[in-house]
Structure 1
């Protein structure tokens, strides 16, 4: 059972970094199969995904030195788009850090913009928890 919970946490953590990993399938699969407590899975996915975004925030603090690295997977165009969006709408965009394509770039932009870490975590965790709650609810509904 610990391995299942670890799998959700690790997949959620990696999914929030600049690595191309999907945690939604892992979470939904476990909920639909009835393996594990759905609310504990929700908590672990949210915490793991939020911590992964904190890694992006830290990377964003040193973004100028990282953007030229070959392993850095966020294109210059995507990063610039996220910066424009972030400047236009401010830290509230972090509620949408769960979005595919731009979410990682938003968390990097937040680090580059030196958003307070406490505010960052609160907003990112709220958005990610809401997304995972929808996945868990959908999984529970599908098995009812």
Structure 2
């Protein structure tokens, strides 16, 4: 396992981070921590995890963007007045919720809603990517500083 992580860890981190940000229930934090505990470069690991996770979120956003009408009308069966009410609420507060797109359970639906409700792509990337970067940076800092805590 150590040899695999040494040889393919960064690629695996990128791919796992990408998949974890889609509707597939995976986590990438354990691999980031493992790489860092094995002496990996924190800046590189955080950058790859953030990039992969943000691209995965963009994939979920794209599903909402291009599959939104089908999802809303055929799968979720949301009527026009309910959709308009949801759109007004999301327009008022919703796009800022993308800062929380890194959270388990609610993060992927937030990205899907961002696509369905047509959040501007640049705004989506900035908000979702910022939340994901903050999460990975805090995790890396905690892992790197874990040895300095008295135990």
1:72 — aligned with what? none
Where structure 1 has 5 or more consecutive residues not aligned to the other structure, the ranges are 70-74
Question: Residue 47 in 1 paired to residue 51 in 2?
Answer: yes
Question: Residue 124 in 1 paired to residue 97 in 2?
Answer: no
Whole-Å Cα distance in 1 between the matches of residues 90 and 31 of structure 2?
A: 30
Per-residue displacement from partner, 1:6-49 (whole Å, max 9, x unpaired)? Answer: 01100100000000111011111111222x21110000000000
1:24-63 aligned at under 5 Å gives the runs 24-34=29-39, 36-61=40-65, 62-63=67-68
Whole-Å Cα distance in 2 between the matches of residues 103 and 48 of structure 1?
A: 15
Whole-Å Cα distance in 2 between the matches of residues 126 and 37 of structure 1?
A: 20
- Displacement of 1:2 after TM fit? 5.6
* SS of equivalent residue, structure 1 residue 114: coil
Question: Residue 6 in 1 paired to residue 8 in 2?
Answer: no
Larger radius of gyration: 2
| Poorly superposed stretches of 4+, deviation over 6 Å | none
Root mean square deviation, CA, Å: 2.3
Label 1:41 to 1:87 Cα distance change in 2 as closer, same or farther (>3 A).
Answer: same
With normalisation by structure 1, the TM-score equals: 0.82
Matched positions, count: 133
